[in-house]
Amino acid sequence: MRKMIFILAILNAWLFASDELNIDSLFKKQIGLRSITSLSLLSTGNANSYLLYPNISIGGDPTIWNDTKQVFLTQTFIYTLHPKFDLLISGGGSYARQEYTNFFTNEYSHKNRIGFDNLWLGFIYTGESFADFIPQITFQTALVQREKAINNTKNFYLKSQNLQVSLRGYSDPVVYSIYSGFGYNQARKFKTLKIEYGHSIYVGGDLSIVLSPKITLDLGAEQRFQTEQKINGYQNSEVRSIPTFSLGSTYSINADTAISVNANFGGSSAAPDSVFGLSLWKKF
């Protein structure tokens, strides 16, 4: 889905109040720091490798895998300078088991990869409410991304940006949002390859039902398109359609801490089969 794909972003700007989880506290803002620590397990069931932050996207490695299982650990910090302006920094790494069939021996084998993935910096701007909606703009840029193509691993700087616009609102006991965004990727130059991942555009919506002062039921859906990928100037993929659906729940442990569980399911052959996530929210 989005930023913490495995978390519904409807709570991303609101779950840091000093009160228990309810409709009123979801809309309060406080100056200070919040932390979101997320762990997720992704299974592809297809030939692609994926990135989860800030959105689900297909990586550029031209290797054709039978299946990839990835575990992502992402740490995000959001600091509210002003009720309308937040600074956002997020970094993470992953472990991947990538399975393939050896072309020469026809044996089934696998490769393991573990390490740092990326570091993003951005901001969140919250506008004045209108017609029962609260508009919000989120912009992020990748300070560094560590990527691999075939057997070449390289760091890239300021090569990707993401812009998202959302409208949020509530109708007791439901909190909801609709959003749209655009992801831009510059070409990556490895030793022997120049890879253009393609850009992405997406729309989606989230729904969070407050079941009690401590528990919400979270639902969401997103449709993402990723444009054609090119390697050394030659197109090697079509436009990819990546629809996803999510189901989860958030539990407020106390006034400063909450935990969220989430499951995402793909709706096309280009989407990952599933993403299961666990996130810890903390206000300091």
Sign of CA dihedral 157, 224, 9, 67: negative
Contact 39, 85 (CB under 8 A): no
Question: Which secondary-structure segment (H or E) carries 140?
Answer: strand 134-149
Q: CA angle, corner 97, sides to 119 and 144, nearest 5? A: 15
Quote the pLDDT of residue 10. Answer: 37
Quote the pLDDT of residue 173. Answer: 85
For residue 228, what is the DSSP state?
P
For residue 130, what is the DSSP state?
B
For the chain, 284 residues long, give each residue's pLDDT as a single digit of tens. 443 333 333 344 344 333 444 444 444 556 788 899 999 999 988 888 888 898 889 887 777 788 889 999 999 999 999 888 999 999 999 999 888 776 666 677 788 889 999 999 999 999 998 888 889 999 999 999 999 888 889 999 999 999 999 998 888 888 899 999 999 999 999 988 899 999 999 999 999 998 988 899 999 999 999 999 999 999 988 999 999 999 999 998 887 888 999 999 998 988 999 999 999 998 88
Q: Which residues pair with 108 in a beta bridge?
A: 101
Q: Give the predicted TM-score (pTM) of the model.
A: 0.86
How many whole angstroms separate alpha carbon 253 and alpha carbon 208? 17
Quote the pLDDT of residue 18. Answer: 33
C-alpha distances (whole Å) from 126 to each of 84, 136, 242, 254 are 5, 4, 28, 26
Quote the pLDDT of residue 162. Answer: 97
Q: How many CB atoms lie within 10 A of CB 166?
A: 25
Preceding peptide of 54 cis, ω within 30°: yes
The helix/strand/coil state of 33 is strand
Q: How many CB atoms lie within 10 A of CB 16?
A: 25
Looking from the CA of 58 toward its CB, the CA atoms found within 13 Å total 36
How many whole angstroms separate alpha carbon 248 and alpha carbon 12? 14
Quote the pLDDT of residue 8. Answer: 36
How many whole angstroms separate alpha carbon 262 and alpha carbon 281? 14
Contact 208, 189 (CB under 8 A): no
3-state secondary structure 163-196: EEEEEEEEECCEEEEEEEEEEEECCEECCCCEEE
Task: Select from 32, 11, 6 the least CA-distant residue to 207.
Answer: 11
